Amino acid sequence: MPTPRTLYFSRDSRDAVPELYVDGTTATVLRLPSAVDPERTKLLGWEGRFEPLLAGGRSVVIAPLQNLARGDRFMLLVTLLDGTEIPLTVTAATCRIDGQISVFPDPEAPAALRKALDEKTQEVDSLRAENNQRREQETSVDHALAALLARDQVALTPFSESRKWRLREESADVEVSLFLPKGKKVAASKAAVVFTVKNRDPARSRALQEARLTTYATRQAHPFALRATLPSIAPGEEGRIAIVTDFDSFDPARDGDRLVLELFRGDGLRQAYVELMPQSQR
């Protein structure tokens, strides 16, 4: 997915020329601090590989006609009306696509300093929110239960295994275990699912990209706790992923009669699909 970013140029002429990462399905837009000179803004070797360069106002638009091959590199020279020259290299990267890039030739210009301050403020706010979330998770009952289930310490939880089934893929064996409360009083509104994944790929590790829990009727996100024994599963190894959710906030009249749990592996493909029902529907 295209992502925006900011590019600050160094005043040291020995530094490498910055790279732009483009894709055949996306137009990359450069936003400059002042007006561009269209006559002196050139992309070398663009014919047959890119649409004609669009340069005007404070913007330059780069639109490849197709994906670039590995190793393709094109020199782009952006020239502003004040004569400032900005050299760039247009290329491609496996997991990176530039959307809009804000370019600052002078990193000490007032606009560049304001932008850098805004980005640092957003970064600090994001880290603070992430730390707060982690602290909440450390004291959350559901996260503690998920951690015990991931370590296969079921006896220390209020759950017992209700169902188990296996999914077989070309390069992995996946065992899915559904856990429900042992009694009606303790954790009666909770449910848990544990995925045990055996990586049979001889060369590649497997990683979880995303776990998604939504209501069946409206596809609205529903809160859950997740714990895994490994960040990624190496070839030949086995890992466990435990998910615990609570139906306290679940409204059948609004949300339907079940929740849908989906697990997506690192390459984006869905690995597992599980439907969970509140106790009143079981």
Angle at 69 between CA 30 and CA 85, to 5 degrees: 30
Given this chain, do its domains 3-107 and 141-281 carry the same CATH topology? yes
Task: Give the model's pLDDT for residue 108.
Answer: 85
Closest CA to 78 of 49, 55, 96: 55
What are the per-10-residue average pLDDT scores of the chain (282 residues)?
85 81 93 95 93 95 92 95 94 88 89 85 81 68 93 94 89 92 76 94 86 89 92 92 90 81 85 82 54
Q: What are phi and psi of 22, to 5 degrees?
A: -115, 170
Label residues 97-121 b or e (16+ Cβ within 10 Å = b). Answer: bbeebbbbbeeeeeebeebeeeeee
Closest CA to 208 of 241, 178, 179, 171: 241
Q: Are strands 28-31 and 270-276 parallel, antiparallel or unpaired?
A: unpaired
| SS3 at position 75 | strand
Q: What is the largest CA-CA distance in the chain?
A: 77
Domain ranges of the chain: 3-107, 112-139, 141-281
CATH class of domain segment(s) 3-107: mainly beta
Task: Give the model's pLDDT for residue 137.
Answer: 59
pTM of the model: 0.55
Task: Give the model's pLDDT for residue 243.
Answer: 96
DSSP letter assigned to residue 112: H
Q: Which amino acid, 193?
A: V
* CA pair distance 101, 89, nearest whole angstrom: 13
CATH class of domain segment(s) 141-281: mainly beta
